[in-house]
Amino acid sequence: MSDIAIQTYLYDAHGSEKFHPVQELVSFTQKKYGYIEGFISLTIDGAEMFGPELWDDVGLLWRWLTIMLDDCRENGAAESSLVERAIPIRLEGIRGWAGSLLLTVGRPEDDHYGVEMRRTSVSAADLYPAVAQAYLDAFTHFRRLETPGDTGRVSEAKEARLRSWIETPRDSWLRIFPG
């Protein structure tokens, strides 16, 4: 089993001018309408894979991450880069290790935007439900904070897909990512 911690942070444009965990905010003021500055913290087995240096529009980051997971589930691998940065992120099934994925952030040849290359393996049976639950939790807080635009909305189809990740039995992930 993989130990996964996921947290959404938003930038407080008033007061402290720092990033704060979304569940701790009682109000929210953004710097620019329609752009929710923040980041997703993703730690796997103690290794920080995503952190504050990967900040951007946090609503778009969540959408991008779930699209990447969908692509990996469908194709066995997915590669993308952050919305407005050229930081490559790759997720792929590991040959010979059923149900295991390799997550790589950055490239070995550069230190782009202060991001050194990071790589870790993770169980799909742990990653997919953890991301789905963290996504749903984040968007619940976006609605509570009344973030403008569609940031707080999750379509019924998207919610159903995320809930299916949570409800998928552990052994089914071995068949989805056979290794």
CB atoms near residue 24 (< 10 Å):
9
- The residues that bridge with 140 in the sheet, in sequence order, are none
Q: Tabulate helix, strand, coil % of the chain (nearest 5).
A: 35, 30, 35
Confidence tier at 150 by pLDDT (50, 70, 90): low
Q: Cα(142)–Cα(154) distance, rounded to whole angstroms?
A: 11
Q: Which two tokens stand for residue 72?
A: 């990996």
pLDDT at 98: 92
Contact 102, 91 (CB under 8 A): yes
Contact 177, 69 (CB under 8 A): no
pLDDT at 56: 87
Q: Nearest Cα to 98, choosing from 35, 10, 177? A: 177
pLDDT, tens only, 50-70: 998 888 888 889 989 999 999
Confidence tier at 149 by pLDDT (50, 70, 90): low
pLDDT at 44: 98
Pick the most confident of 23-37, 78-92, 144-158.
78-92
pLDDT at 123: 96
Residue with tokens 């590991």: 94
Residue 131 has pLDDT above 80, yes or no: yes
Q: Is 86 helix (H, G, I), strand (E, B) or coil?
A: coil
Residue 71 has pLDDT above 70, yes or no: yes
Contact 55, 11 (CB under 8 A): yes
pLDDT, tens only, 7-28: 999 987 666 678 999 999 888 7
Strands annotated E in the chain: 4-11, 19-21, 37-44, 47-50, 56-57, 77-81, 88-93, 100-105, 118-123
Length of the chain: 179
Q: What is the pTM of this model?
A: 0.90
Q: Is the dihedral of CA 96, 131, 163, 149 positive or negative?
A: negative
pLDDT, tens only, 86-130: 788 999 999 989 999 999 998 776 665 667 789 999 999 999 999
